[in-house]
Amino acid sequence: MEYLDIVDEHGEPTGKTIERTIAHEQGILHRTSHVWICRKHGSNIQLLLQKRSQNKDSHPGCHDISSAGHIPAGSGFLESAIRELYEELGIYADKSELIYCGQRRFLYKNKFHGKAFIDNQISNVYLLKRDIDAEKINFQIEEIESVIWMNFYECIEKVRKNEIPHCIVLEELEMLKANIDKIFNQEGIIE
């Protein structure tokens, strides 16, 4: 069983913990870390997307953030982000490589596999610049079906128009935009 810290409105642990499944059944506020991997490919900026396994408890078979995960009780945002990158994608990164893009709070309700799912979370969003061949990523097959690179602005449009099965939030892509523009404009890339 995986235990999560119950957190306040600012993402600070309250001193109480809850089992992950119960947190999603009852909509208890908890934390996650989201890491988006980006690269320059030719004249384009790309994001690495994962396609979630059909066995996931939420959003099976949907395109998603490069790496994301719940923060175990007693852990922090950055520590969890680094751990998830390695566990899900086999990618090691140093905390100093992660670019903080902001924090978002959201509440999402749906049903998956016939069960109610209430995701009430505070997420720190990070960007990692890393050029890696998708074919060589050693992803966790229990969690991920596949990974693909997608042009950043194409991804925004596909999410906006709902043209791919996804669980990507447009607001999060907008959070990335300023940081992506800053990183790659320093290199003289113009979209």
Q: What is the pLDDT along the chain (191 residues), one digit of tens a residue?
A: 899 999 999 999 999 999 999 999 999 999 999 999 999 999 999 999 999 998 887 788 999 999 999 999 999 999 999 999 999 999 999 999 999 999 999 888 888 777 888 899 999 999 999 999 999 999 999 999 999 999 999 999 999 999 999 999 999 999 999 899 888 876 554 44
In this structure, what token pair is assigned to residue 41? 């490919």
pLDDT attached to residue 190: 44
Full-model pTM: 0.91
Domains and CATH numbers, the chain: 3-185 (3.90.79.10)
pLDDT attached to residue 187: 58
pLDDT attached to residue 104: 94
Q: CA-CA distance, 131 to 149, in Å (whole number)?
A: 10
DSSP 8-state assignment for residue 152 = H
Residue 112 contacts residue 58 (beta carbons within 8 Å): yes
- Give the list of residues 6+ apart from residue 15 with CB closer than 8 angstroms, or none: none
Tell me whether residue 75 is exposed, middle or buried, using C-beta atoms within 10 angstroms of its C-beta: 0 to 12, 13 to 18, 19 or more. middle
In this structure, the number of other CB atoms found within 10 A of the CB of residue 139 comes to 20
In this structure, what token pair is assigned to residue 35? 């890491």
CA 151 distance to own-chain centroid:
17
